[in-house]
Structure 1
Amino acid sequence: MVFYLVNQFNPNLDLTTILKTIQIKRSTYYYWLKIKDKLKEKEEKYFLQEKRIEALCLHHQYFYGHRKITDLYQKTFNEFITKKKVYLIMKKNNICCCLRPKKNFTYRNLTNNLQIIPNLINQDFMATKPLQKIFTDITYFKTNQGFFVGDY
């Protein structure tokens, strides 16, 4: 807005008169003039980062949060970005990590077809050949026929 006013009245009046009228110091005007291009570059870089983060999230089906997206961004584009900035961009664009529901294991299936295997080792762990006796502390494991339950 200030640059527009200065450019509009510049042919008729000198710069100091215009700046006094709109109550801006000359040093402030020149500072704004100096950083105007830098601010534009910064906005373009931020816009590019937003697009890249959105593309990464879309590619990974929104399963990753801001920490993992930060690591992926740095590895993919070889550009440093902080986790907080990624978090703020994701929050601003409403990109959230979709948590997968935890699979609850039900023990009802075990009680239906229970095969109890007798304990054949009976604390006798000494073997004459290697791999002659193999024992596990797992009480049950899943097979194609159902759950196999060991009694030890």
Structure 2
Amino acid sequence: MSTICRFIHAEKANYTVTLLCKVMKTAPSTYYAWVAGRKAREARRQDDEALAHEITAIHLASRHNYGVPRVTAALRRQGRLVNRKRVERVMRQHGIAGNSRCTGRRSLTKADSKDAPAPDLIGRDFTATSPGTKIVGDITYIPTAEGWFYPASWLDLATREVIGYSMADHHRAELVVDAMDMAPRWAAWSPAA
């Protein structure tokens, strides 16, 4: 609507406001309300620029870490009564953003494009007739209050028993090897024995 009002304002020297409003399919009262609010909009724009300057100073002092909530709190401590949504809008318009902690899940494998998925050695057939013929393993991670917890286990598909397991605070290869070493029967079943 402001685009139409700006056009009418620019062309009112050549044509009447009533004709321009009729052609643009807008009410004359809309145009006159827009004209009446020009001073208020300009004052708000100038106030937003001053606020952006204060926000930038706080953001730089925080080493680019503070986001909207902390910047708002800092402005209020300085005596500037400002709404959080206004701070958010001004920061977004000026490209100011704080650092946020990465809260996403992390992968147990490297996401390199050169790494291919592991081959399916059992062909999605999870049945076995005798113990020790098909053994599968798994590793996962669980968030705890003390950090990440990584359990690894080996399962015999014939008996459905966990034949070895291991737990650690990392997901390196030794976690899986420890789970394998825990299963004494697995050594007797393995072809290398």
Equivalent residue for 2:53? 51
1:4 to 10, 18, 24: 10
Equivalent residue for 1:65? 67
Whole-Å Cα distance in 2 between the matches of residues 19 and 29 of structure 1?
8
Return the TM-score normalized by structure 2: 0.41
Superposed displacement of residue 74, structure 1: 1.8
Unmatched runs of 5 consecutive residues or more in structure 2: 1-6, 102-193
Equivalent residue for 2:91? 90
Whole-Å Cα distance in 2 between the matches of residues 16 and 70 of structure 1?
45
Please tell me the root mean square deviation across aligned C-alpha atoms, in Å: 2.4
Whole-Å Cα distance in 2 between the matches of residues 32 and 85 of structure 1?
22
Return the TM-score normalized by structure 1: 0.51
Whole-Å Cα distance in 2 between the matches of residues 14 and 88 of structure 1?
37
Whole-Å Cα distance in 1 between the matches of residues 62 and 86 of structure 2?
19
Question: How many residue pairs align between the two structures?
Answer: 94
Equivalent residue for 2:34? 32
Equivalent residue for 1:75? 77
Whole-Å Cα distance in 2 between the matches of residues 60 and 36 of structure 1?
36
Whole-Å Cα distance in 2 between the matches of residues 26 and 83 of structure 1?
35
Higher relative contact order (CA 8 A, sep 6+): 1
Whole-Å Cα distance in 2 between the matches of residues 2 and 37 of structure 1?
18
- Verify the 8 A CA contact 1:90 1:96 in the aligned structure 2: no
Superposed displacement of residue 91, structure 1: 4.2
Q: Are the structure 2 counterparts of residues 28 and 98 from structure 1 closer, same or farther at C-alpha, using a change threshold of 3 Å?
A: closer
Q: Are the structure 2 counterparts of residues 17 and 46 from structure 1 closer, same or farther at C-alpha, using a change threshold of 3 Å?
A: same
Q: Are the structure 2 counterparts of residues 39 and 47 from structure 1 closer, same or farther at C-alpha, using a change threshold of 3 Å?
A: same
4+ residue runs of structure 1 moved beyond 3 angstroms? 87-92
Whole-Å Cα distance in 1 between the matches of residues 25 and 88 of structure 2?
39
Whole-Å Cα distance in 1 between the matches of residues 85 and 18 of structure 2?
42
Q: Say which structure is richer in helix.
A: 1
- Verify the 8 A CA contact 1:74 1:80 in the aligned structure 2: yes
- Percent identity over paired residues: 17
| Amino acid in the other structure paired with 1:18 | L
Q: Say which structure is richer in strand.
A: 2
Unmatched runs of 5 consecutive residues or more in structure 1: 100-152
Equivalent residue for 2:105? none
Q: Secondary structure at the match of 1:62?
A: coil
Whole-Å Cα distance in 2 between the matches of residues 31 and 20 of structure 1?
16
- Verify the 8 A CA contact 1:54 1:95 in the aligned structure 2: no
